[in-house]
A and B are shown apart, each in its own frame.
Chain A
């Protein structure tokens, strides 16, 4: 398969000295003498999502518990990953490329565990801050850096995905060079643990601004209501005792210290035809605004029960409004456009259109 590996297996002398892995990847032979297998492996095309696992971590048997049974030729693969000189009986192995793929599997499984450690999380955080894993392709996430993850923890099932901490959705990598990278080598827990460890990188689950008032023309009324609507944060209310009619409202912070602390990019796309919003009741009208929506304030999150239904008076209000809509709209496919802005729900379902 890999001609270089054939050459290695024929040349036993080369195996005894420092292995020349780089010649199969980058073609640069000048630095090969100091290149470890791990350095070589993570420098391969498409392997740049991996971080470098400390050799100390791999050498500690405790960290490898349970992995032996998942990796064929475990001992030989471990020796390859750690650049250990193989013992004499390795000639029973039919093909070195088998060891090579075992070493990749071993490294990936160890990597899945290592990035959940303090050192691993820190290594990934450094790279996340440099957008080393790319940015969210979603326009309204405004260049938000993403983090690799898997949808399953078992190798061989699904490729690596990218988690965006703003829209909290997952995407396929933009380049096909990652199509051979196993998602299990990053795992399902990693993105969650990462953003619980670094909540400053995670967007808040609410917009963080008080709900917009029905009449956007009166600026003074807007700022006058700001302190009362954010009464849950007394320190901020103090700061706003003398609200300036010009200054923008101060964003609410997340009272949950373990939750996301970053002010979200909460803009949403609003489909329009000739400048008019397409009605949600039109046959081809929008159905997915909820997918990217988030409430204005933290307390709104508690207004639903465990099944995702509105609690109390909100639920009754919804029913009442739903009834009036039925009376208004008796056509089989509904109007294409919103007839009137008043018809648009004036609470926080109203999408906030944000031109960036």
Chain B
């Protein structure tokens, strides 16, 4: 696979982490502070997870690997793979620390993880999440804080990343720490920024990112109904008329919402 020494942009990268982050497909990751990695307490238990070349993989991540030139290709590849794997596992721990959450928040605010494909989420930025905390279980998914649902990344570039590198806790921890970043459930409030999305939307909804649309919309209130009552849902129509069965389901969902 991509070797440290053969990556196109990597020749002059000054650190392994810089190279790793600039590699295509790794856009979801943030830079883990070296201090965090060097504190062995933070890595408790990981030497049991990374079976091969744990020590040298850690050295590679922290740019302390020695005698690189003397290694054969197989060994080098083993260390490379272990380093990427180890970085991912440390990443899952790091992004639920104060520093890590702040870095991921920055990426969320610039929609680096993409936006929700649901039409009535109005290009709401999403966050990566795992469906399992153990590696090799499930690929990474994207959590939308507006509809509170999970979506698959658009391409295989991100569709094959291990979800354990982000973990099941991360997005919910982020909104627990930054509750004001929870988007409103209703359409975004039209603002001076103008439409930001590539697609024209019906219903006067501008393309303002949803996280800017918070305000007196019931976020932070105890009641589900108060927060969710403005959420738009698709209303199937047949020649302009509501459809019986989907109308029944819609009313049932409203009753669930309002109770």
Chain A interface size band reads: 35 or more
User: Is the CB of B92 closer than 8 A to any CB of chain A?
Assistant: no
The answer on a CB contact under 8 Å between A322 and B259 is: yes
The answer on a CB contact under 8 Å between B237 and A273 is: no
Tell whether A140 pairs with B236 under 8 Å between CB atoms, given A258-B245, A260-B245: no
The answer on a CB contact under 8 Å between B147 and A161 is: no
The answer on a CB contact under 8 Å between A269 and B252 is: no
* Cβ contacts under 8 Å, A286 to chain B: 148, 224
What's the minimum C-beta distance from B6 to chain A, rounded to whole angstroms? Answer: 31
What's the minimum C-beta distance from A26 to chain B, rounded to whole angstroms? Answer: 24
**Interface class of chain B by DSSP:** mixed
Q: Which residue of B lies closest to A260 (CB)?
A: B245
Interface 1/0s, chain A 46-67, versus B by CB < 8 A? 0000000000000000000000
Q: Which residue of B lies closest to A293 (CB)?
A: B256
What's the minimum C-beta distance from A120 to chain B, rounded to whole angstroms? Answer: 15
Cα distance A306–B240 when bound, in Å? 19
User: Is the CB of B169 closer than 8 A to any CB of chain A?
Assistant: yes
Tell whether A301 pairs with B238 under 8 Å between CB atoms, given A139-B141, A329-B222: no
Q: Which residue of A lies closest to B227 (CB)?
A: A287
How many contacts between A and B, using CB within 8 angstroms?
185
* Cβ contacts under 8 Å, A191 to chain B: 236
Q: How many residues of B contact A (CB 8 A)?
A: 60
* Docked complex: A316-331 residues within 8 A CB-CB of B: 318, 322, 329
Interface 1/0s, chain A 114-158, versus B by CB < 8 A? 000000000000000000000001111000000000011000011
Partner of A176 from B198, B234, B239, B243 at Cβ < 8 Å: B198
Interface 1/0s, chain B 94-124, versus A by CB < 8 A? 0000000000000000000000011110000
The residues of A with any CB-CB pair to B shorter than 8 Å are 137-140, 151-152, 157-159, 161, 163, 168-172, 174, 176, 179, 188-189, 191-193, 196, 205, 256, 258-260, 269, 271-275, 278, 280-284, 286-295, 300-310, 318, 322, 329, 333-334, 336, 349, 355
